[in-house]
Amino acid sequence: MGLWKAPKMGRGLAYFLSENADGAWAWSVCDEDGLTVAEGHAASHAAAMAAIEQVMRTQSAAA
């Protein structure tokens, strides 16, 4: 179990990803002010990353 923070991506966005004790993944995307713009859970690391990437694309396109 751990928490990993990636460097800022896209337009002032960062993501946080952690694996829970049961093997599921929790994730969130924050803006440069630290406000959560999206969050969720996924059964696998790959699914969590796909969700994060989708949010990043959507947020960047909206900016």
> What's the rounded Cα separation, in Å, for the pair 10 and 24?
26
The pLDDT value recorded for residue 4 is 44
| pLDDT (tens digit per residue) in 1-14 | 334 445 545 557 88
| pLDDT (tens digit per residue) in 47-62 | 999 999 899 888 877 7
The structure's pTM equals 0.78
Of the candidates 16, 22, 7, 6, the residue with the CA atom closest to the CA atom of residue 37: 16
Question: Above pLDDT 70, what percent of the chain?
Answer: 81
Question: Above pLDDT 90, what percent of the chain?
Answer: 51
